[in-house]
Amino acid sequence: MLKSFTKLAVAASLTASLGLAAAPGYADTIKIGDINSYKRLPAHTIPYKNGALLAIEEINKAGGINGNKLELVSRDDQGKPGEAIKIAEELFSRDGVAMISGSLFSHVGLALASYAGQKKRVYLAAEPLADALVWAKGNKYTFRLRPSTWMQASMLAEQAAKNPAKRWATIAPNYAYGKDAVHAFKTVLKSMRPDVEFVTEQWPGLFKIDAGAEVQAIQASKPEAIYNVTFGGDLAKFVREGKLRGLFKGKLTVGLLTGEPEYLDPLKGEAPVGWLVTGYPWYSIKTAAHDKFRNAYQARWNDYPRIGSLVGYNTMLTIAATLKKTKSLKADDLVAAMEGLSVSSPSGDFSLRAIDHQSTMGAYVGTTALKDGKGIMVDWKYLDGAKYLPSDAEVRKMRPAN
């Protein structure tokens, strides 16, 4: 790969010096493998792909990477880890991709991370939230972009600690993400407010919530505040039954990811009001970099960006920055380039930590409100992810040595 790459580069520079270069004039094509659950959860993954493609187009329009064209090879993993592994092998061995990125489900991300570590090939996990990805199961060849479960839950816990509520109830889908999210929130909140107690924990099956029963069960334990981790259809049912039965009246409700357009928008006029949430207020972020991104996205896709779009865009920016930093496409050189890499993005600057390969991309924390029959986030602030990551000593304890 590298050899043919240099050869082509030489050839290209020769043709260029002879003044024969064709209009786009790329020396070579660098391929990036993209694996995601495009059919299992299209509402999340299609905005992701759109964001990623927008970034690729912009990068190529601006001359590509050191004169090389960037190309995304997208594949659907059907939401199955085994399938994702097979596709990864094909992307590397047949398509000759330099690295792979993507995935939304935590278990698919973990499987790909294990593959990357074993085969010594670089994987940039885009959206999976599992903490284990970079900590307990972390490895040298895996990086992760999105702020993880722990980071987002601790941001919320920090805000929630300011509320006088003492009796807390939690509701989370009964699988790893839900458990991690509850564990993180409880740990951080308890450390700041030893006086709080958790009076009930509800664990509906993922996408199988029995909302009426869950609401009644929470009400029966008379909490002063509720921590919600349900999302998607479960969230809609929970919010509807909760409102109908007066669950949220006079209680602080905290919702992990609830403010993300993917989850908030389908609720339309029934979106919860006054919840403390993490999310993505794309409509009211007023920075030049974000304006540019939003306008370009809306022009390109005739749709507004979701959090997936932002993550997809930032993923490609991260890859572009890596490839600009190192000319080599060898896995070890890529890893060396990525450790400590800083990236400027529409959501602000972030870097990839050398210690655990987690990016410091942050999240928006705010309160939900209704505007024109749609849920939005108000009074939000952007919290830098770097402040919600464990110390180096703690990371070393959790993360296996390379």
Partner 1 sequence: MGFILAQALTGLSNAAALFLVASGLSIIFGVTRIVNFAHGSFYMLGAYIAYTTMSMLPGIIGFWASVAITGVAVGLIGVVVELVVLRQVYKAPELFQLVATFGVILVVQDLALLTWGPEDLIGSRAPGLESVVYIMGEAIPEYDLAIIALTPVVLFAIWYLFNRTRWGILVRAATEDREMVGALGVNQSWLFTGVFFLGSLLAGVGGAIQLPKGGADLLMDFSILSAVFVVVVIGGMGSIPGAFIAALIISELNVFGVQLLHQSTLVLMFVVMALVLIVRPWGLLGKPEKPGQHGQVGELARPIAIMPTRGKWLFAAMLVLLALLPVLDDSFLLVLMADIIIFSLFATSLHFLMGPGGMVSFGHAAYFGGGAYAAALSVKYMGAPMEIAIMIAPLIAGCLAIIIGWFCVRLSGVYLAMLTLAFAQVLWSIVFQWGEVTGGDDGILGIWPSEWASDGVVFYYLVLVVGSAGILLIRHVLHSPFGYGVRAGRDSFVRSEAIGINVKLMQWMAFAFAGALAGLAGGLYVFAKGSIFPDEMEIARSFDALIMVLLGGVKTLSGPFVGASTFTLLQDWLSRFEYWRLVLGSMIILLVILFPQGLVGFARDKFGRLINVRGEDHA
The least distance separating partner 1 from the CB of residue 82, rounded to whole angstroms, comes to 5
Q: Using CB under 8 A, which of 117, 255, 259, 281 touches partner 1?
A: 117
C-beta of residue 181 within 8 angstroms of C-beta of residue 172: yes
Residue of 346, 364, 390 whose CA lies nearest to 278:
364
Q: Find residue 279's DSSP bridge partners.
A: 259, 364
Does position 164 bind partner 1 by CB under 8 A? Answer: no
CA–CA separation, 95 and 11 (whole Å): 22
To partner 1, the closest distance from the beta carbon of 263 in angstroms equals 9
Q: CA dihedral in degrees (319, 396, 129, 216; nearest 10)? A: -170
Identify which range of 4-12, 62-70, 236-244, 385-393 contacts partner 1 by CB under 8 A. 236-244
- 144, 125 in Cβ contact below 8 A? yes
Residue 126 or 130: the one with the smaller Cβ distance to partner 1 is 130
Choose the binding region for partner 1 from 129-137, 186-194, 272-280, 354-362 (rule: CB under 8 A).
129-137
| Residue 71 binding partner 1, by CB under 8 A | no
- In the DSSP assignment, the letter for residue 164 is -
Parallel, antiparallel, or unpaired: how do β-strands 348-351 and 276-279 relate?
Answer: unpaired
Q: Which of 5, 26, 48, 115 binds partner 1 (CB under 8 A)?
A: 115
Q: Are 201 and 170 in contact (CB under 8 A)?
A: yes
Cα separation, 324 vs 318, whole angstroms:
10
- 217 is a contact residue toward partner 1 (CB under 8 A): yes
The answer to whether 134 touches 110, Cβ cutoff 8 Å, is no
Task: Burial-class residue 36 by CB neighbours within 10 Å (0-12, 13-18, 19+).
Answer: buried
The answer to whether residue 137 forms part of the interface with partner 1 (CB under 8 A) is yes
Interface stretch with partner 1, choices 2-10, 107-115, 143-151, 376-384 (CB under 8 A): 107-115
Task: Name the residue nearer to partner 1 (CB basis): 95 or 158.
Answer: 95
Interface ranges with partner 1 (CB under 8 A): 38-43, 46, 75-76, 78, 80-83, 85-86, 89-90, 93-94, 106-107, 110-111, 113-115, 117-118, 130, 132, 137, 174-176, 179, 201-205, 207-208, 210-214, 216-217, 220, 232-233, 236-237, 240-241, 244-246, 265-268, 270
